[in-house]
Amino acid sequence: MTKAQGFDTLQIHAGTAPDTATGARQVPIYQTTAYVFRDAEHAANLFNLAEVGYIYSRLTNPTVSALANRIVALEGGAGGICCSSGHAAQIMALFPLMGPGKNIVASTRLYGGTITQFSQTIKRFGWSCTFVDFDDLKAVEAAIDDNTRAIFCESIANPGGYITDLDAIAQISDKQMVPLIVDNTSATPYLCRPFEHGATIVVHSTTKYLTGNGTVTGGAVVDSGKFDWAKSGKFPSLTEPEPAYHGLVFYPTLGPMAFTFHSIAIGLRDLGMTMNPQGAHYTLMGIETLSLRMDRHVANAIKVAEWLENHPKVEKVTYAGLKSSPYQKRMAKICPKGAGAIFTFAIKGGYAACVKLVDSVKLFSHVANLGDARSLIIHSASTTHRQLDEAQQVAAGAAPNMVRLSIGIEDVSDIIADLEQALAQ
């Protein structure tokens, strides 16, 4: 039996091989919209899903496919797609599952833009969302009804760094026969492997740690290939004849790849949330150093969090890697290599003090992003979570007196020095 390759090897080699035409070792940027068919029969087979290949870059592109295959390998999934952003990935993940009148159950601890997407935007599709504290397992199960089609959470929640008990939530999703979708953006597959804890689908904003340098936006959807879409009778898009493909039934006909092929043949075809090949190329290069960067992110985050916890102007720090955190034991189970590098801290002086701090940093960049090599800072209540009321902000971990940090890979003494001079203001 061939030994399974390690993570550090997969992040460099998975999904790619030297270009057959030129021998190019790095993945070429296939900057093309269309692909020449061998003949009429070849074209017909591709359009009928009887043969795998390239038709048009809204659907598939060799550079983008290489990236999707690499992320699938790192997550340990069966198949996946890449798309234009993390928000696009969330809609792409839900699209094969949902219909008018259907709902999802989601954690209250989510990125503010996701809360808005789920509480407001999806209503236009006739979908709805119930938000629940995922530490209250009875409330999670009680929120599921006959119209629930998915459970959604983040492995490490943005902004507070809260870690979800994926095993416990997966037990509920299995019992209710609905898929568990996990946003693994903040953890990356290096720190957390949601499929090993019972997740069905993983989504990413590849914009963040996977690319790692704040250059391009992108998203990914990875399917475990293990969910029985036919068992409950709740997923007709996958289990009933598809008129656009002469009555093809995606599942069980396409087995573990049914969800992925549906996402390409229906989702990308009709929603058009396509990733561009140059963006895919940048992300492929970023992933090559993912484990090295994440180790440094985590090491720096621990030191910064410990320093902040002992600062007289700081009320509390939410980093799960701290010995004082109620989620440290959960971190050891869900994220054994570390609690990531985003967290919040509360400042004495409230909202005004937070704004003053953000305006006083010099090394930190004040941006609406995370997962960059650079250290980043933002006051979530006035920016990323501004559209929520105060109760929602508090539930999401973005209270008005909290500042979010995304700790970079600079010299940690310089990171701390910048926070020290800013807190002195």
In this structure, what is the dihedral angle of CA atoms 260, 261, 263, 265, given to the nearest 10 degrees? 170
CB 322 within 8 A of CB 379: no
Domain-embedded: residue 199? yes
**Does residue 2 have a pLDDT over 70?**
no
pLDDT of 1: 43
- Could you report the per-residue pLDDT of 67-108, keeping only the tens digit for each? 999 999 999 999 999 999 999 999 999 999 999 999 999 999
**Does residue 42 have a pLDDT over 70?**
yes
Q: Do residues 265 and 311 share a domain? A: no
Looking at residues 170-196, what average pLDDT do you find?
98
> Measured over all CA atoms, what is the biggest interatomic distance in the chain, rounded to whole angstroms?
73
Looking at residues 253-282, what average pLDDT do you find?
97
Q: Do residues 85 and 197 share a domain? A: yes
Domain-embedded: residue 130? no
- Could you report the per-residue pLDDT of 53-73, keeping only the tens digit for each? 999 999 999 999 999 999 999
Return mean pLDDT, the chain: 95
Q: Do residues 399 and 257 share a domain? A: no
Q: Do residues 191 and 280 share a domain? A: yes
Which amino acid, 162? Y
In a 3-state reduction of DSSP, which class is residue 361?
coil
Lowest mean pLDDT, pick from 10-14, 379-383, 420-424: 379-383
Domain-embedded: residue 138? no
Q: Which long-range contacts (CB under 8 A, 24 or more apart) does 8-14 make?
A: 8/291, 10/70, 10/73, 10/74, 11/70, 11/74, 11/190, 11/287, 11/288, 11/289, 11/290, 11/291, 12/288, 14/69, 14/70, 14/73, 14/74
Q: Do residues 345 and 418 share a domain? A: yes
**Whole-number Å distance between alpha carbons of 31 and 276:** 8
- Could you report the per-residue pLDDT of 321-337, keeping only the tens digit for each? 999 999 999 999 999 99
CB 109 within 8 A of CB 154: yes
Looking at residues 192-208, what average pLDDT do you find?
98
Q: Do residues 223 and 334 share a domain? A: no
**Whole-number Å distance between alpha carbons of 116 and 122:** 9
**Whole-number Å distance between alpha carbons of 227 and 205:** 23
pLDDT of 180: 98
CB 162 within 8 A of CB 339: no
Looking at residues 293-298, what average pLDDT do you find?
98
Structure tokens at 182: 């996990």
Q: Do residues 324 and 414 share a domain? A: yes
**Whole-number Å distance between alpha carbons of 271 and 230:** 24
**Does residue 160 have a pLDDT over 60?**
yes
pLDDT of 269: 96
Q: Between these two residues, 393 and 300, which has the higher pLDDT value? A: 300
**Does residue 308 have a pLDDT over 80?**
yes
pLDDT band (50, 70, 90) for residue 201: very high
CB 179 within 8 A of CB 161: no
Q: Which of 253, 285, 317 is the last residue of a domain?
A: 285
Closest CA to 397 of 94, 154, 185, 120: 154
**Does residue 243 have a pLDDT over 60?**
yes
Phi and psi at 154, nearest 5°, equal -105, 140
**Does residue 280 have a pLDDT over 50?**
yes
Range of the domain at 375: 290-423
Question: What's the domain count of the chain?
Answer: 2
**pTM of the predicted protein model:** 0.95
pLDDT of 400: 85
**Does residue 262 have a pLDDT over 90?**
yes
State the burial class of residue 101 (Cβ atoms within 10 Å of its Cβ: 0-12, 13-18, 19+).
Answer: exposed
Q: Which of 285, 308, 327 is the last residue of a domain?
A: 285
CATH number of 402's domain: 3.90.1150.10
State the burial class of residue 123 (Cβ atoms within 10 Å of its Cβ: 0-12, 13-18, 19+).
Answer: exposed
